[in-house]
Homo-oligomer: A and B are copies of this chain.
Amino acid sequence: MSARAGIVVTGTEVLTGRVSDRNGPWLAEQLRQTGVDVGFTVVVGDRPQDLVEALDFLAGARVDLVVTSGGLGPTADDLTAAVVGEWQGRPSATDERLEARITAIVERLSARRGWTFDPEAMAAGTAKQALVPHGAEVLEPTGTAPGLVVPGQDGDGHPPVVVLPGPPSELQGMWPAALASPLVTAALADRAELRQSTVRLWGTPEVAIAATLRRLGDGLEGLEVTTCLRGGELEVVTRYGSDLADRYDRFVEAVVQEHGAAVFSTDGSTVDDLVARALADRGLTIATAESCTAGLLAGRLTERAGSSAWVRGGAVVYSNEAKHHLVGVPTELIERVGAVSEEVAVALAEGARRELGADLGVGITGIAGPGGGSPEKPVGLVHLCVAGPDGRVQAAPVIPGDRSNVRARSVTVALHLVRELLDGDAPA
């Protein structure tokens, strides 16, 4: 049994959905990598009583460690440190040397960014951030807010609470110090290695994998298998103790045997990884011409550092004039077959290749909606083409969901077409 943690994400802006939480998922992955199982992530607003109830819940669920994010700023609604201190029965007092360090940071930042404000206001905010519960460890600020590790009291059954700031870059910068804390190390002494491996399939319904899982039955004992369909990809993620590695390998063999062509990754690689690696390894370059996705494919292809070695650039061709002017799609072609058509997708892909001097070109044109659909060309219809020196691959799916879903899924389809062309296993 490995050590178990709970995460509390604080912030009314997260709870109400105005800001999407990046910290919970990041912390869960970090904890997993150190062999700690995460049982729960609780999102609460900036209300002291709700935070206390979340802490009580996690203590009751007997987690070994709680990690909180957010609520360490200088404003009065940032109350995590005080509430956690009180929950652990530890009154807070000002740490004057910490206060001086925070003041120095804020002054340096203000000078650099040209902020000017009332010194009294600054002092009040800083004094609040320098309050430390009795017996807590201070984690040095990576922004302006310090973090804390606040231990429980003997016999109260409370786990230590790691209190981290909300801005993801500050939280991530502080994490190594939190892990190195003696209180944290002691709480997680009990961790065992828990592996996590992923198989990814493209173009297979979830129900088909369900059949495989059912058939294998007892052969899966001890493997925690979860399947998840997203953006058209089916992800099969398994967590297991290192003693069950052989059983996991046999499971993967069975999946590959039954769903061969659909399995595109058994080592955790994403389609983005595979495309980047194939382009880099073979010294090929790529360019895009996007209508309905309007730059999202280019944005995704360049997410990783070093992508300038294979991404030449792209054209966002929202208007028909742009299709013609940037990548040379003949205006008469658009007039004859319409902007959303197989022919225009091909012309975009070939135009991107030619105009940007790339080995591969990708063309995307579709109806993202909600308007613009017709019986022949419904909302969600997207024509895609990937052209290379030796041929082309194409697809014309009708993608369900809203505008945002159609655009995001189109990008994923395009990446799979690129992968197929590079694999050479696609119909010519």
Contacts and interface: CB of A to CB of B under 8 A. Distances in A.
A211 B124 contact: yes
Interface in A16-59: 16-22, 24-29, 32, 38-46, 50, 53-54, 57
Contacts of A117: 205, 207-208, 211
A206 B316 contact: no
Interface stretch (A149-157, A276-284, A319-327, A416-424): A319-327
Given A40-B44, A298-B295, A298-B316, A356 B305 contact: no
B302 A314 contact: no
A396 to B, nearest CB: 13
A73 B206 contact: yes
A190 to B, nearest CB: 19
A193 to B, nearest CB: 16
Residue among A77, A239, A288 with most chain B CB within 10 A: A77
Interface residues of A, number: 120
A8 to B, nearest CB: 10
A100 B20 CA distance: 38
B305 A294 contact: no
A387 interface: no
A176 interface: no
B318 A311 contact: yes
A184 to B, nearest CB: 19
A228 B312 contact: no
A312 B319 contact: yes
B44 A15 contact: no
B16 A28 contact: yes
Given A74-B210, A169-B405, A206-B73, A13 B316 contact: no
Main secondary structure of the interface of A (DSSP, over half): mixed
A128 B207 CA distance: 11
Interface string A390-428: 000000000011111101000000000000000000000
Contact of A400 (B17, B169, B295, B299): B169
A206 to B, nearest CB: 5
A302 B318 contact: yes
B318 A294 contact: no
A3 interface: no
B76 A210 contact: yes
Interface of A: 11-22, 24-29, 32, 38-46, 50, 53-54, 57, 60-61, 73-77, 106, 109-110, 113, 115, 117-118, 120-122, 124-125, 167-169, 172, 196, 204-211, 213-214, 224-230, 235, 237, 239, 287-288, 290, 293-299, 301-303, 305-308, 311-319, 321-322, 325-326, 355-357, 368-371, 400-405, 407
7 contacts: A17-B24, A40-B42, A40-B50, A40-B53, A299-B299, A313-B318, A315-B326
Identify the 6 closest CB pairs spanning chains A and B, nearest first: A295-B295, A17-B25, A121-B211, A313-B322, A295-B298, A314-B316
